[in-house]
Structures are given as C-alpha cells and as structure tokens.
C-alpha cells in the first residue's frame, strides 16, 4: 500500500505531457504555457513620464522658482520629437515619452503657467530622473517574462499582449471521460425509488476536471455488470486521455472495476493508498489511456480526484507543479487522525485577527457526508500514526480548486 506522496510520484512518472497547441490570446487565460514568453522590446520602450507636468532640465530648476519657455507638448502616443534646450520646458502627460534633452519632470501641481501658456513657472527644483521611468526599467528585450509550465492568469494576459503574443503555445486540454458505476444510481432528474440514490459523482468529477483544464465527456451509468463495464472502458480508449471511474474498487462482491481492467490486460500501477478517505484507489493504463478507479463515496471521490487524477491532468498540460501545493495553517480546534493511514480531513481556511491562517475542521459524518463536504475549501493533513492534533497545532493543508 503506497503513501500519498509515493502514489503521486508514480502518477507523475507514468503520465506523459500532451503535444502543445497554438491558440488565440483571447482564449489563453487558465491554460498552461508550453513556451517561455520572451520580451520582444524593452519595457518601457522609452523614458516615460510618471506624472502630468513639465519635462525640464534639472539644472535649469536649481534656483526655483524659475520661469521657462514652453516649446511643445508630449502626450501618450504623440511625443515631442525635438531636443529640449536650456531655459525650455515641454508640457508632458503621464505615459508620454520624455523629450531628448530633458532629464526630469515636475508635476503640474508645482507649476504655474503665464502668458496663456507661453511660459511656465517651476516652483520647486527637480532632480535628475524625477518622475521618469527609464527605458527598460521594467524589462529588457530578450528577457524571459513568463515561464513554460506556468498557468496563465488574468494578470499575465497583459504581459502576453504587450509582447505581441497574438497566438500562444499552450498544453493541449486532456480529454477526460467520467463514468459512475453501481446499479443503485439514477439520474439527477429522477425521484429515487427504494434502495436507489441519485448520481452525484459524475457532476463533481466533471466540475473538478474542468477546473483542472480538461475537456469532459460523461458516460451513462454502468450497472453492476462486469461485461458492460468492460465494454465501456474498452470503448473509451480511442478518444480519452484519462478515464475516471467512481465506485467498484473495493473488495465487495459487486466491485468489478479491477476485474474489468484485468480482463482488458490493463497495466495496474497501484490499487490501494494509505489514505483516509480513499484507500481503495486504482491507477492503471490501458493502451495510452490512463485510468483512475476512485471510491464511490462522494467525499472520497473528491479527495482522491484532487490528489491523484488532477495531478495527472495538470502533468499532461505541462504544468510546472502538477500536484496541489501544501501550505501551513493553525488548527482552530482539535482533530482526530488514524493510526494506519494519513488523513485528509475537510476544513475551511480563514485568517484570524493576528493575520494567522487558520484551518477550521468541518464536522462531518464520514466519506458519504456530501452535505458537510459542500462547504469544504481545504483539506487538513494528519500524518499516519497521529491519533489527535490539538487546537493551535501548525498543520499542513491543501486548498481545493473552485
């Protein structure tokens, strides 16, 4: 039985990166970069005014207040192309290029115009470089701005646009097929009859897969029929990068997932993980398709998908760090662990009055308690062998997507 970290290592070793694709910049937010983004120009590309005011020679202002002749105007997108001489000033707007010969800007609040703008009085002396962003202060042409494997967020879109990336090379979206097993399942629109329950797993799995950057296809339910399950798995191979099956992975009489994978000669890498909830988790490969057999209980499904299947989907896209990152938090109240397995317990994160990140354990009734889990934003990690962690203990947590 593997530890969680060992299972993640195996998944990363066995998961290939999909070929990159070029997409329009407008569609790139949320995708994983498949290339370094290199600046094609200095930024700013010229000495740039930081304030509305007047571009001047600092030496001309040392005996301020002084009166200078206004010889032109520079605006953003429409600079003044001549060279500033001694005793002169150029009216300048924020973002405009600083004219040749000028070495400082005085903000408009420290100036007064005279003779209908023919002259300006500079009321306070300036210093060289004042209110100017020098050329290439922010980035130098040829420098790497964003790195391959980073996930493009909204702030990065501005950088991509500024350096001319009309088309962006990104990792291809993995094709994920979601399949729920069990004769007890009925559709969400149906009123469950005796001994039946509505399917919930395919909806949470599809949502988590889309948040991970995948395209998702949901199959009809597979009843407790091993031949049917085997056919549905086999039919998914041609157009699926990762098949995610919920249910049928334990040791019961009607747990047929491993049987079906075995009959298809799938390569099974592991089938149990030292994890609570989610011990009976299967990771396999059939042809080029990866297969994740996850427990059927809704909480176990969410935990195991985000620990394992999500990692594979991010790896397929070339993400630098495919697994969810851990961060430290302080326990708001005590939690119980398990001697034989590492526990990943539902929680909410918040910040207290001292600015500390607190992990508030949720009260839940076990791996089928989907109502309590609906409020979960993070998981508290309780190491194997730890029976109890007291309030105030610093613990590792992972935040859940969405």
Residues in contact with 369: Cβ distance below 8 Å, sequence separation at least 6, in sequence order: 299
Pairing of strands 185-186, 267-270: unpaired
Helix (H) or strand (E) holding 203: helix 201-211
On whether the CB atoms of residues 332 and 344 are closer than 8 A, the answer is no
Question: What is the number of residues in the chain?
Answer: 402
Nearest of 276, 270, 272, 271 to residue 385 by alpha carbon: 276
Residues in contact with 13: Cβ distance below 8 Å, sequence separation at least 6, in sequence order: none
Query: Domain spanning 326-399 has what CATH number?
Result: 2.40.340.10
Domain boundaries, the chain: 4-18+172-316, 20-43+138-171, 48-133, 326-399
Class of domain 48-133: mainly beta
Residue 366: what pLDDT? 78
Nearest 5 degrees, angle CA 277-CA 280-CA 281? Answer: 95
Residue 252: what pLDDT? 54
Which residue, chain included where needed, has tokens 């326990």?
Answer: 331
Superfamily of domain 20-43+138-171: Molybdopterin biosynthesis moea protein, domain 2 (3.90.105.10)
Q: Name residues of the chain where pLDDT drops below 50.
A: 253-254
Q: How far apart are CA 314 and CA 320, in angstroms?
A: 9
Residue 254: what pLDDT? 46
Class of domain 4-18+172-316: alpha beta
SS3 330: strand
Q: Residue 9, class by beta-carbon neighbours within 10 Å (0-12 exposed, 13-18 middle, 19+ buried)?
A: middle
φ/ψ of 284, rounded to 5, equals: -145, 175
pLDDT digits (tens, 9 = 90+) for 148-199: 999 999 999 999 999 999 999 999 999 999 999 988 888 889 998 998 888 8
């Amino acid at each position: 039985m593997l530890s969680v970290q060992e299972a993640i290592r195996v998944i990363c070793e066995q998961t290939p990166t999909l070929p990159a694709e070029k997409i329009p910049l407008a569609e790139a937010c949320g995708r994983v970069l498949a290339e370094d983004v290199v600046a094609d120009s200095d930024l700013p590309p010229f000495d740039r005014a930081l304030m509305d005011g007047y571009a001047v020679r600092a030496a001309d202002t040392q005996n301020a207040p002084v009166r200078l002749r206004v010889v032109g105007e520079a605006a953003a997108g429409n600079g003044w192309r001549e060279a500033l001489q001694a005793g002169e000033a150029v009216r300048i707007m924020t973002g405009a290029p600083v004219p040749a010969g000028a070495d400082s800007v005085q903000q408009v609040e420290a100036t007064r115009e005279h003779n209908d703008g023919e002259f300006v009085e500079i009321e306070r002396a300036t210093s060289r470089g004042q209110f100017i962003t020098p050329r290439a202060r922010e980035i130098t042409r040829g420098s790497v701005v964003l790195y391959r494997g980073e996930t493009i967020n909204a702030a990065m879109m501005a950088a991509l646009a500024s350096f001319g990336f009309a088309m962006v090379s990104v990792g291809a979206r993995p094709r994920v097929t979601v399949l729920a097993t069990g004769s007890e399942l009925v559709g969400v629109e149906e009123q469950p009859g005796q001994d039946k329950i509505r399917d919930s797993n395919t909806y949470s799995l599809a949502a988590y897969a889309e948040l991970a950057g995948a395209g998702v296809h949901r199959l009809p339910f597979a009843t407790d029929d091993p031949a049917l399950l085997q056919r549905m798995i086999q039919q998914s191979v041609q157009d699926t990068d990762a098949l995610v099956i919920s249910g049928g992975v334990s040791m019961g009489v009607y747990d047929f997932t491993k049987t079906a994978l075995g009959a298809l000669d799938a390569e099974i890498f592991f089938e149990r993980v030292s994890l609570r909830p989610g011990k009976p988790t299967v990771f396999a490969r059939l042809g080029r398709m990866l297969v994740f057999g996850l427990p059927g209980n809704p909480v176990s499904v969410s935990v195991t998908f985000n620990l394992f299947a999500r990692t594979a989907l991010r790896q397929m896209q070339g993400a630098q760090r495919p697994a969810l990152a851990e961060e430290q938090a302080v326990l708001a109240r005590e939690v119980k662990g398990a001697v034989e397995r590492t526990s990943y317990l539902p929680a909410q994160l918040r910040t207290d009055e001292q600015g500390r990140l607190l992990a508030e354990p949720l009260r839940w009734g076990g791996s089928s308690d989907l109502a309590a889990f609906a409020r979960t934003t993070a998981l508290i990690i309780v190491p194997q062998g730890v029976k109890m962690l007291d309030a105030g203990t610093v613990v590792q947590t992972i935040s859940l997507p969405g």
